[in-house]
Amino acid sequence: MTSTNLLGRITTTVLLGLALGASQAAAKDLRYATGFAPNSTGAKAQEASAAYAKEISKGDLDIRVYPQSLLSFTEMSGGVRDNIADMGMVLFPYFPAEFPNSTMVSEMTMLFSQHDTGDRGGLAWTGALIEYITLNCPACIDEMTAQNQVFTSSSSTEYMMMCMKKVETAADMRGVRIRAPGAHWTRWANSVGATSVSVPQNEIFEGLSQGILDCSLSGAAELLDLSLVDAVKYIIRDVPGGGFGGTGLMNVNLDVWTSLTPEQRTELLRVGAHGSAYGSWNYRVNNLAALEAAEKKGIEIVAPAQDFLKATRDFTNADLKSIAKTYAEKYGLKDTDQAVQKMSELFEKWVGLVASIDSAEAYQELLWNEAYSKINVETYGM
């Protein structure tokens, strides 16, 4: 063998070794934190997304899910910012000073009651919020960046009242102690004479059982996820309406995001679309199953009286008009009227888009086509 051929073979071997090493170095092991309990609807959806990530990346993205262990919901934003977790489920209403633009629009979910959303309000809201933040709200992206985070996905579901006492009229709400997991619901509670009580999600059962709470605003799936089916006596539908609409389902630490290749960022957005679709879809399915289980358990499903519905509609109409002004004054936000108008338009658009969706897979494809495919991974979040 000539020296030239030998040198060529050595060079080829070295280059192949360097390429293999670079490929191996590019593989990412990522820690995902959620405040949901193990085996809950939310945790199961993220476990499924972790498996999906491994599949589509051929093992290049290996996500380990930490349900209710690595970080609680109240610790989540700081934990993702400081890279205690690489990714986490950040609830914007828990951190309004850090995410005022995102939190403002999250308080608009009572729009559900102004459209014929049925059991698809959460699906429409998820799509609208993702499209709004990623493609229409530079201020939202900037506030994520300030917290060393990148928004990639969301999830939402309808909320209803779960009570220990029968609440049927507006007058029945006077003096009721209710867990209201959002400022807009606190304002509604105050408007009908109730008192908002702050209770962490994992303490709702205890709060209801021990008389700390008379009612909780929760998704129906939590009847089974949190065993509330063994505590509550009444479920009140249609009031106050809306859902929890301020979820950064998979906020990614910005340093981690920038360390990814464009291909890996695209894969992570596909995982975000998967988590958003399956999380919201599974909540819809599990909500219906939980309500059926509640009825079999003997829990009374209460239809609110007309005066209660009217009082709630009147509050909703007035509150939606005041949100923009409130956030402009409290947090110094700009163009809040336009932001509220844009989110309203997007929600109406998505109500139509999700009306005929018949599976999580179809919903994931819809989310990708309408929003995710339009994100520039070379610059997004950076």
Please state the φ and ψ torsions of residue 108, each to the nearest 5 degrees.
-100, 10
- Whether 325 has a pLDDT exceeding 50, the answer reads yes
Say how far apart CA 120 and CA 187 lie, in whole Å: 25
Whether the per-residue pLDDT at 140 is higher than 60: the answer is yes
Residue 273, SS3 per DSSP: helix
Question: 16 lies in a domain?
Answer: no
> Among the ranges 13-22, 84-93, 320-329, which has the highest mean pLDDT value?
84-93
What are the angstrom distances between the C-alpha of 346 and each of 136, 221, 334, 343?
A: 10, 26, 19, 5
Residue 1 has pLDDT above 80, yes or no: no
Q: What is the pLDDT of residue 76?
A: 98
By DSSP bridging, strand 87-91 and strand 28-34 are parallel
Going by pLDDT thresholds of 50, 70 and 90, the confidence category of residue 249 is: very high
Say if residue 262 is preceded by a cis peptide, omega within 30 of 0. no
Does a structural domain hold residue 3? no
The lowest-confidence range among 9-18, 38-47, 206-215, 307-316 is 9-18
111 lies in some domain: yes
> Torsion angle of alpha carbons 47, 140, 105, 69, nearest 10°?
30
How many separate domains does the chain show? 1
Q: Tell me the residue range of the domain where 323 lies.
A: 27-160+241-374
Instruction: Report the phi/psi class of residue 313: left, alpha or beta, with left for phi > 0 and alpha for psi in -120 to 50.
Output: alpha
Residue 224 has pLDDT above 60, yes or no: yes
Give φ, ψ of 86 to 5 degrees: -75, -30
- Token digits for 64? 């380990």
Q: What local confidence, expressed as pLDDT, does residue 8 receive?
A: 44
Residue 155 confidence (pLDDT): 95
Is 145 contained in some domain? yes
Compute the average pLDDT of residues 163-192. 94
CATH code for the domain of 369: 3.40.190.170
Which pLDDT value is given to residue 124? 97
13, pLDDT greater than 60: no
Confidence of residue 27 (pLDDT cuts 50, 70, 90): confident
Residue 223: name the closest of 297, 120, 121, 126 by CA.
Answer: 297
Residue (of 203, 207, 186) closest to 195 by Cα position: 186
Mean pLDDT of 40-48: 92
Query: Could you tell me where the DSSP H helices lie in the chain?
Result: 3-26, 41-56, 76-81, 100-106, 121-136, 138-146, 183-191, 204-209, 222-225, 254-259, 262-297, 306-331, 336-353, 360-370
DSSP state of 354: T
Q: Is residue 190, in this structure, part of any structural domain at all?
A: no
Tokens representing 241 are 């309406």
* pLDDT of 3: 42
Position 9 pLDDT exceeds 70: no
- Nearest C-alpha neighbor of 363 from the set 282, 286, 278: 278
- Kindly indicate the confidence band of residue 11, based on its pLDDT and cuts at 50, 70 and 90: very low
Whole-angstrom distance, CA of residue 191 vs CA of residue 292: 31
Residue 132 lies in a domain: yes
The confidence score (pLDDT) of residue 26 equals 64
pLDDT given for residue 181 in this prediction:
86
In DSSP terms, which residues pair with 91 in a beta bridge?
247
Within a domain: residue 125? yes
Looking at this protein, which amino acid is placed at residue 116?
D
| Residue 93, token pair as written in the block | 């209403």
Q: What is the mean pLDDT of residues 353-363?
A: 96
Helix axis angle for 138-146 and 121-136, nearest 10°, is 80
User: Which DSSP symbol is given to 355?
Assistant: T
Kindly state whether residue 5 falls inside one of the protein's structural domains. no
Looking at the chain, the whole-number percentage of residues with pLDDT higher than 70 is 93
Nearest C-alpha neighbor of 198 from the set 188, 186, 209, 210: 186
Q: For residues 64-76, give the mean pLDDT.
A: 96
Confidence class for position 19, pLDDT limits 50, 70, 90: very low
Query: For all residues of the chain together, what is the average pLDDT?
Result: 91
